[in-house]
């Protein structure tokens, strides 16, 4: 996770982590709000104040181990205007998509500034923001509860199958994820996928600059 052990690198990583989880969770809440659910707004979660979304243990794990979690934004699909299943899919995908937008934006700024080699903190912050947001987006798309990917996958399943999938797998979701992470199985998914996204971003920016 760190690009060295300097105070500059550590602070840059911390700021990148806070930015990533804050935008991720706010995006979930905002998407739900636009679909008619005021729950997140009523609980003060439609904010870019990281303290509203911070789970201390989850943030520490992301900071140290490269994976973690924030306080889940409360969503009540019964408020949704229209199809609740499609609504949950939109709310779920809003977080990862926002992370990818953040990553591309940071990459754009980094490329436009020529790498900011003379400004170590900005260089470290942008680099961490690029990489961390891509990994966070892809990790959350893994279809294992409680990750966003599980709700997206459930939206493609028949209602009965989706209910059984979510309620059955959710009991063991955290354990499954822990096993995948400990045995580096997630890296087999994350690393190639992240490299693919980075290459795509590089191609787009190369055409611009």
Is the Cα torsion angle 139, 156, 200, 204 positive or negative in sign? Answer: negative
Q: Do residues 140 and 95 make contact, with C-beta atoms less than 8 angstroms apart?
A: yes
Residues 6+ apart with CB under 8 A from 147: 139, 140, 141, 173, 177
Instruction: Point out the catalytic residue in the list 25, 52, 194, 201.
Output: 25
80 contacts: CB under 8 Å, gap ≥ 6: 32, 35, 36, 37, 87, 88
Contact 73, 45 (CB under 8 A): yes
Q: How far is Cα 18 from Cα 35, in angstroms, rounded to an integer? A: 26
170 in active site: no
In contact, 62 and 42? CB cutoff 8 Å? no
Active site residues: 25
């Amino acid at each position: 996770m760190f690009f060295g052990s300097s105070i500059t690198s550590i602070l840059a990583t911390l700021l990148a982590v806070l930015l990533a989880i804050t935008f991720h969770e706010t995006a979930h809440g905002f998407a739900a709000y636009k679909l008619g659910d005021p729950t997140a707004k009523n609980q003060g979660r439609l904010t870019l104040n990281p303290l509203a979304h911070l789970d201390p243990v989850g943030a520490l794990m992301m900071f140290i181990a490269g994976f973690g979690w924030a306080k889940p934004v409360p969503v009540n699909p019964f408020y949704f205007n229209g199809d609740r299943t499609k609504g949950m899919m939109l709310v779920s995908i809003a977080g990862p998509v926002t992370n990818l937008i953040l990553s591309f934006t940071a990459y754009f700024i980094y490329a436009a500034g020529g790498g900011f080699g003379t400004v170590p903190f900005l260089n470290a912050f942008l680099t961490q923001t690029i990489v961390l947001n891509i990994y966070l987006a892809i990790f959350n798309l893994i279809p294992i509860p409680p990750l966003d990917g599980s709700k997206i996958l459930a939206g493609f399943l028949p209602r009965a199958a989706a209910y059984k999938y979510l309620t059955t797998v959710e009991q063991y979701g955290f354990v499954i994820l822990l096993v995948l992470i400990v045995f580096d199985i997630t890296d087999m998914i994350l690393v190639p996928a992240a490299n693919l996204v980075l290459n795509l971003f590089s191609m787009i920016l190369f055409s611009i600059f």
